[in-house]
Amino acid sequence: MSGDSKIGSVGGVARTGPLRRVVGEATASARAPAQVRPASDNLPTARLTRLANNLADQPPPVDVARVAALRTAIGTGNYGVHPAIIASAMLDFHGRGTD
C-alpha cells in the first residue's frame, strides 16, 4: 500500500513488513449476526449495572477530621513535606518492584 511508508514507529515499535489482510472464515464469522440471549440471562448483568450506577452516584468517602487537621496544619505553616517518606509510601503502594 502506498500510504504505509508514511507510518513511522509507534511507542518504539516499528512495523517490519507490509500489512496483511485476513480473508475467509474469519471475516465470514465476523459478519454473522450475534446471538441474542434471553432476558433471564441478563439479570446478573442488570444487577451489576444498577449497582455500579448507584456507587457512581455516591460521593467519595471523606475523612472530615483529617481534612480539618490538614487545613489547620497548612494554615499555621506546620505542614511539612518529606520526600523520603512520600517515596517510601509510593514504593510500598506499588509493591517495591517485587512483581
Contact call for residues 19 and 1 (beta carbons, < 8 A): yes
Q: What is the pLDDT of residues 22-58, one digit of tens each?
A: 666 555 555 666 676 665 556 788 899 999 999 999 9
Instruction: Return the sign of the alpha-carbon dihedral for residues 88, 90, 93, 98.
Output: negative
Residue 70 has pLDDT above 50, yes or no: yes
pTM above 0.85, yes or no: no
Q: What is the pLDDT of residues 56-67, one digit of tens each?
A: 999 888 999 999
Question: Could you state, in order of their start, the residue ranges of all structural domains in the chain?
Answer: 45-96
